[in-house]
Amino acid sequence: MNRKQFNEGASLQYNKKSGLYKIYRFALIYGMRRALVKALGRLRVGKITRFVVSPLSFLRKKNKFISVVGCGQFTYSTSSFFLVQKLGNCIDACFDLNADVTNTYAKAYDAIECVKFDEVLERDSTKLVYIASNHASHTPYAIDCIKKGLDVYIEKPIAVTFEQLEGLRYTYSQSKSKIYVGYNRPFSKAIIELKSKMGDGPLTLTCSIIGHKLDADHWYREPTEGTRICGNLGHWIDLAIHLIWSKKETPPTALDIFIAYGDKNNFDDNLSVCFSSDTGDLIVLTMTAREEPFEGISESIVFQQNGVFAKIDDFKRAEFQVGPKKIIRKYFPKDVGHEEAILQPFRKKQRDLNEIFVSTELMLHITDMVRETKHQSVFKFKG
């Protein structure tokens, strides 16, 4: 595919009237600047992006110390958006297996274009690497960065097999590098406020997710990529573990897991995962992907623990009830926690990596269940 074909293909959806209406709808959700950058990320138009992201950032003194591996839509329109807004002209180098994607990202964010991943490792100026490539490659890239003494930010998931997870854990234990992880919902204003109202005792959490509809040849479907459990549902598995571990009491030692499948052709597309702990917690995660949602992934979360009741509507609105007291919050732009998660290396508040290792173990266990279309199993937490 040449550059012209790449840009023409990316532009198709924005040549339609619905494209402009979609930008308008996204502006109502994310604000105009972010909506425009999302559109520019699809078009891959180059230098204009940097001025939309932050008009003055590229006029400041350069402090280029961050490199990115994987230059797709998320890196282009989300992680780089917040990094540049916070830190200015900070992107040192970039690499993607798709040369066109690397080229357009480099022009958009004034970065050095690397032809091989090893070129990123060899740059003395790079101190921190953000990894958002295909899921199966996250762990190998991260391990190579850690061995070079670099800090890494790994987008979800951190591993798609138990072997990868153990390899990452071992390499990390032998190094002084820092690992940051892109599970973002715990950093949202709604979840932070919810945790401030939590106490001890069993909790009930229900998450209903409308996900993207994926074509049969989408790369998520590749057997090595960990299914949509690693690719999507892992976010809410991690959120559940985060809330359970936020209680002061001793965490559970085991979970009973049940899965109901709604799609016999793609078992990871339309399903409900339910697990209950030996301390009385009840978690229900339902993901459906029967048609493409116009505004992207949409979710509803309901939580109850003792006298605390919460409803979170797509992280645009939340309602908290503590006894007779009711609090209503509205979030504009929509706050799913991306900004604070992406800026973890520069914030005091960071996720406990051991907690993420636990949520990853559970995610991989559920992934194996889905691969084998199992309906029930028991997961035991390691001591």
**Coil vs helix vs strand at 250:** coil
**Mean per-residue pLDDT of the chain:** 94
Q: What is the CA radius of gyration of the chain?
A: 21
Q: Is the pLDDT of residue 198 over 90?
A: yes
pLDDT (0 to 100) of residue 150: 99
Residue range 310-353, pLDDT digits in tens: 999 999 999 999 999 999 999 999 999 999 999 999 999 999 99
CATH architecture of the domain 185-336+353-380 equals 2-Layer Sandwich (3.30)
pLDDT (0 to 100) of residue 249: 86
Q: Where are the domains of the chain?
A: 3-133, 185-336+353-380
Q: Is the pLDDT of residue 13 over 50?
A: no
Pick 58 or 197 by higher pLDDT: 197
Residue 129's beta-bridge partner residues? 67, 152
**Coil vs helix vs strand at 215:** coil
Nearest to 367 by CA among 220, 265, 244: 220
Q: What is the mean predicted confidence (pLDDT) over 207-219?
A: 95
Provide the whole-model pTM: 0.93
pLDDT (0 to 100) of residue 383: 67
Distance linking the first and last C-alpha atoms of the chain: 51
CATH architecture of the domain 3-133 equals 3-Layer(aba) Sandwich (3.40)
Question: 312 — alpha (psi -120 to 50), left (phi > 0) or beta?
Answer: beta
Which residues have C-beta within 8 Å of that of residue 177, sequence separation ≥ 6? 145, 146, 149, 150, 151, 152
Residue range 284-316, pLDDT digits in tens: 999 999 999 999 999 999 999 999 999 999 999
Q: Is the pLDDT of residue 11 over 50?
A: no
Q: Is the pLDDT of residue 166 over 90?
A: yes
Q: CA-to-CA distance for 234 and 5, rounded, in angstroms?
A: 34
pLDDT (0 to 100) of residue 18: 73
DSSP calls for 273-293: EEEEETTS-EEEEEEE-SS--
Residue range 357-376, pLDDT digits in tens: 999 999 999 999 999 999 99
pLDDT (0 to 100) of residue 54: 87
pLDDT (0 to 100) of residue 61: 65
Residue 209's beta-bridge partner residues? 287, 299
Q: Is the pLDDT of residue 56 over 90?
A: no
Burial of 202 (0-12, 13-18, 19+ CB in 10 A): middle
Residue 378's beta-bridge partner residues? 256
Distance set, CA 286 to CA 4, 331, 370 (Å): 40, 24, 14
Q: Is the pLDDT of residue 46 over 90?
A: no
Q: What is the mean predicted confidence (pLDDT) over 174-188?
A: 98
- Do 301 and 205 form a contact (C-beta atoms < 8 A)? yes
Q: Give the range among 12-16, 86-90, 147-151 with minimum mean pLDDT.
A: 12-16
Q: CA-to-CA distance for 151 and 178, rounded, in angstroms?
A: 5
pLDDT (0 to 100) of residue 262: 96
Q: What is the mean predicted confidence (pLDDT) over 220-243?
A: 97
Nearest to 259 by CA among 366, 375, 377: 375
Q: Is the pLDDT of residue 32 over 90?
A: yes
